[in-house]
Amino acid sequence: MHFKISKNLWLVAPAAIMVAILFLYPLCFSLYSAITLDNGSFTLEHLHTSFELYSNDILFTILIVLISVILLALLSTIIAALIVLSPFRSVVLILGVLYRLPLFIPFIVTAQMMRTFLAKNGLMNNAFIASGLMTPMDTVSFLGWSGIIITFVWKQLAFSTLLITGAMSALDESQIRAARNLGASRFKILTQIILPQIFPTLGVAMVLSTVTMMSVLSVPLMIGTGTPTMISADMAFRVNSYGDYHVANALGLVSYAICAGLAWFYLRHSLKDKGATA
Amino acid sequence: MINTHVTIQSMVLEKLKNMPLKFNFWLQILFILVFALVLFGPIVNLLIWTVTEVWYFPHALPSQWGFKYWHQVFNPYSNVSSSLFTSIIIAILTVCVCLLVSVPAGYALSKRSMPFRVFWMLLFLIPQAFPNLTVYMNIARLFYEFGLNGTLLGVVLVHSIHGLMFSVWISVAAFSTTDPMLERASRNLGAGPIYTFFHIILPQAAPGIIASCIFVFLESLDEFTGTFFVGAPDISTLPLLLYSASMEGNYQIASITALILLVPSILFMLIINKFMSPEMLSKLGK
C-alpha cells in the first residue's frame, strides 16, 4: 500500500513541479519584488510611486471591472432564467445556441472585432445612421472605457451564462413544480427559489470573470485608447519601456487586491447566508 | 342577439387571459433579436473588413470590395503564413508537453485513495485563480536569465502552464470514468502495470484526453499575453501579428488574421457542442 501511494506521488510530481516553477515561483517573486528594493530591504516606495502615477488608472480599472461584473451578472441571470423557465420551446432552443457563440472566440479576435465595430465609422454607428436614428455628425467613437466594458461583457457572457444555466438546470425540479402548483409566478420562482440556490455559482462565475478581465492585455491595448487606461496596460508599458519591474509588480499587487476584494465580498456574503440558515 | 353578445364577451375575456402570455412571447422574441444583433454585429463587421479594399468615413459600406488583401496574406513570403506555421508548431508542442505531464497526473489523481487529492487538484487550479499578467511578466524576467526569452521552448513552456489546468482537470475526469474492474481483471490475468495502462486504461480514457488536447491546442493558438512578454519580438505568432497589424491601422490584414484564428475555434465549437452540455460542466471536478 505504501509503495502504491508513493508511486502515485511520482506520477503527479512532473505536473506539480511545472506549476511550482513556472507559476508559483514567479507569483511569489512578483509579491516580493513589489515590496523590496534591489538590495532586498523592505520598502513601500514602489507602491507609493504606483499610486502617485497611476491612481486614476487604478480607479478606472476598478470601475470598469465593477460595471462589467454587474452587467454580466444581470444579463447572464436573465438569459439563464429565460432558458430554464421560458414556456416557449423555440425561444429556449434559439437562445441556447446563441449565447454560446462567443465562448470559443479568442479575446484578441474579439478585441479586433470591437475595434472596428465600435469605431466612429464602425458598423454600429453606420447602422444607426442608415436606420435614421443618427446623423453622421452625431456619431461618437466607443473606443475607450465603454468599449472595454462592452468587449468584456460580450466575450465573458457566454462563460458565465454557461455556468449559471448549468447550476439552474442541476436544481431539484420538483421544487419549481411545487412552487408553480401553489400558484407562484415565474418571476417569483426565479427570485425566491432559483436565485438563492445558484448564488454560489453566480459568485464563482463573477470572480473568475474578474480574474480574466484583469489578465487580458489585448483588450485594454486595442480598445482603450488614450488616458486613463487599465492598469494591465500600464504594467506592460512599465516593463517594456522602462524595464521597471518593481513598479509593474506593485501594480500587479493592486490587481491581485482587486480580485481578492471581489472574492472576499463573495465569500462574506455566502458565509452570511450560511450563518442565517444555520 | 344576446347570445352573440355573450360569445363576443367570452371571446374578449379569453383573449385577455392569453394576453400576458402572448405579450411575454413577443418580449422574449424581441430580446433574442436584440441579443442576436449585438452578437453578430461585430462578427459581420470583421467579415466585411476582410473583403474591403477602400472604406472611408461617411460611407456606410466599403466603396471598393475585393480579395486583394487575401492574396497578400496567402503569399508564401508574407508574415502571415510564417506566423501561422510558428503558431501551429507551438500549439502542437504545447499539447505534447501538457499530455506528457497531465496523463500520469490525471491517472494518479483519479484514484480516490490519492493522499491530499483536493490539495493537488487545487494546485492545478491556481493558474486560473490569479490574474496571470503579472506572473507572465516575471516569467519573462526569469527566462531572460536562462536565455529562454524569444525562443520556441520559452513560448511553449508559457503556453503549457496556461493549458495545464484544462489538461489535468479533464484528464482526471476522463480517468475517473474508466472501469476499475477491467484494470483488476487485466492484472489478475498476468498483464504488467504498464501493459495494462496502455492497453486497458488509456483506450477507455481516450475521448476525454482528446478533448483536453483540443482545448490546450486552441488555448495555445489564441494566447496573446504570455507570447507578448516572452516571445516578442523574435517569435511572431498569429495573435501577435494580428495585434501589430491592428495597431498599425492595417485592418484588412488584422481581420483576415482574426478570421484564420476563428476557423479552428468555430470548428471546435461545432464538435464540442454535443459533449459540453451545462449539465456535464456542473459535474466537472467532482
ipTM beyond 0.85? no
Average pLDDT, chain B: 81
- Does pLDDT of A132 surpass 90? no
- List, in sequence order, the alpha helices (H) in chain A: 2-19, 25-34, 45-85, 89-98, 107-117, 123-130, 145-169, 173-181, 186-189, 195-215, 218-222, 231-237, 245-277
- Does pLDDT of B284 surpass 80? no
- Does pLDDT of B275 surpass 70? no
- pLDDT value at residue A76: 93
Task: Determine the Cα–Cα distance for residues B223 and B208; give it in Å rounded to an integer.
Answer: 22
- pLDDT value at residue B73: 76
Minimal Cα distance from A208: which residue of B? B129
Q: φ and ψ at B244, to 5 degrees?
A: -70, -35
Q: Which residues pair with A173 in a beta bridge?
A: none
**Confidence category of residue A151, pLDDT binned at 50, 70, 90:** very high
Nearest CA to A31 among A277, A275, A252, A266? A252
| Of the listed ranges A262-271, B101-110, B253-262, the one predicted with least confidence | A262-271
Minimal Cα distance from B38: which residue of A? A154
pTM (2 d.p.)? 0.84
Average pLDDT over residues A171-199: 84
Q: Would you say how long chain A is, in residues?
A: 278
Average pLDDT over residues B210-225: 87
- Does pLDDT of B9 surpass 80? no
Task: Determine the Cα–Cα distance for residues B54 and B124; give it in Å rounded to an integer.
Answer: 49
- Asked if the C-beta of A227 comes within 8 angstroms of chain B's C-beta atoms, the answer is no
**Confidence category of residue A74, pLDDT binned at 50, 70, 90:** very high
How far away is chain B from the Cα of A272, in angstroms, using its nearest Cα? 23
| CATH code for residues B76-281 | 1.10.3720.10
- Does pLDDT of B217 surpass 80? yes
Task: Determine the Cα–Cα distance for residues A244 and A46; give it in Å rounded to an integer.
Answer: 10
Of A113, A162, A255, the CB nearest to B131: A255
Reading the block at residue A173, the C-alpha cell is 425540479
Number of helices (H), then strands (E), in chain B:
13, 2
To test the contact with chain B by mutation, choose from A123, A157, A239 the residue with the greatest count of B C-beta atoms within 10 A, namely A123
Give CA angle at B266 (B263, B272), nearest 5°.
135
Determine the distance from the C-alpha atom of residue B146 to the mean position of all C-alpha atoms in its chain, rounded to a whole number: 31
Reading the block at residue A253, the C-alpha cell is 499587487
pLDDT in tens, B69-114: 787 777 777 778 888 888 999 999 999 999 999 998 888 888 877 7
E strand map for B13-103: 52-54, 64-65
- Does pLDDT of A1 surpass 50? no
Average pLDDT over residues B61-71: 76
- pLDDT value at residue A174: 86
Task: Determine the Cα–Cα distance for residues A73 and A153; give it in Å rounded to an integer.
Answer: 10
Query: Where in chain A are the domains?
Result: 65-226
- Does pLDDT of A139 surpass 70? yes
- pLDDT value at residue B97: 93
Most confident segment among A117-126, A253-262, B88-97: B88-97
- pLDDT value at residue A66: 92
pLDDT in tens, B13-48: 565 555 566 777 888 888 889 899 888 988 888 888
**Confidence category of residue A278, pLDDT binned at 50, 70, 90:** very low
| Of the listed ranges A60-74, B9-23, B201-215, the one predicted with least confidence | B9-23
Cβ burial, residue A148 (10 Å; 0-12/13-18/19+): buried
Return the residue matching grid coordinates 465595430.
Answer: A117
Minimal Cα distance from A211: which residue of B? B131
- Does pLDDT of B186 surpass 90? no
Cβ contacts of A261 within 8 Å, gap of 6 or more: none
End-to-end alpha carbon distance in chain A: 40
- Does pLDDT of B278 surpass 60? no
Nearest CA to B100 among B266, B224, B212? B212
Average pLDDT over residues A94-110: 86
DSSP string, A29-40: HHHHHHTB-TTS
Burial track A65-104 (b if 16+ CB lie within 10 A, e otherwise):
bebbbebbbebbbebbbbbbbbeeeebbebbbebbbbbbb
How far away is chain A from the Cα of B275, in angstroms, using its nearest Cα? 13
- pLDDT value at residue A156: 92
Task: Determine the Cα–Cα distance for residues A166 and A160; give it in Å rounded to an integer.
Answer: 10
| Of the listed ranges A267-271, B22-26, B32-36, B117-121, the one predicted with least confidence | A267-271
**CB < 8 Å to A131, chain B:** none
**Confidence category of residue B8, pLDDT binned at 50, 70, 90:** low
Classified by CATH at the fold level, domain A65-226 comes out as: MetI-like fold (1.10.3720)
Average pLDDT over residues B132-149: 86
Burial track A150-168 (b if 16+ CB lie within 10 A, e otherwise):
bbbbbbbbbbbbbbbbbbb
- Does pLDDT of B1 surpass 70? no
CB contacts < 8 Å between A and B, how many?
A: 251
How many CA atoms, within 13 angstroms, populate the side-chain half-sphere of residue B136?
30
Task: Determine the Cα–Cα distance for residues B258 and B243; give it in Å rounded to an integer.
Answer: 10
DSSP string, B49-69: HHTEEE--TT-SS-SEE-SHH
- Asked if the C-beta of A87 comes within 8 angstroms of chain B's C-beta atoms, the answer is yes
Q: φ and ψ at A42, to 5 degrees?
A: -70, 140
Of A18, A33, A130, the CB nearest to B161: A18
Burial track B259-269 (b if 16+ CB lie within 10 A, e otherwise):
bbbbebbeebb
Percentage of residues in chain B having pLDDT higher than 70: 85
B124 contacts A103? CB cut-off 8 A: no
How many CA atoms, within 13 angstroms, populate the side-chain half-sphere of residue A36?
10
Surface of B (15-74) touching A: CB under 8 A: 21, 25, 28-29, 31-32, 35-36, 38-39, 41-46, 48-49, 55-58, 60-61
- pLDDT value at residue A243: 79
Average pLDDT, chain A: 83
Cβ burial, residue A17 (10 Å; 0-12/13-18/19+): exposed
Surface of A (48-77) touching B: CB under 8 A: none
- Does pLDDT of A133 surpass 80? no
How far away is chain A from the Cα of B8, in angstroms, using its nearest Cα? 28
- Does pLDDT of B257 surpass 80? yes
Running DSSP on this structure, what letter comes out for residue A41?
Answer: -
- Asked if residue B167 lies in contact with residue B215, where contact means CB atoms within 8 angstroms, the answer is yes
A14 contacts B100? CB cut-off 8 A: yes
Of B21, B38, B134, the CB nearest to A252: B134
**CB < 8 Å to B168, chain A:** 15
Task: Determine the Cα–Cα distance for residues B224 and B261; give it in Å rounded to an integer.
Answer: 12
Nearest CA to B32 among A63, A120, A97? A97
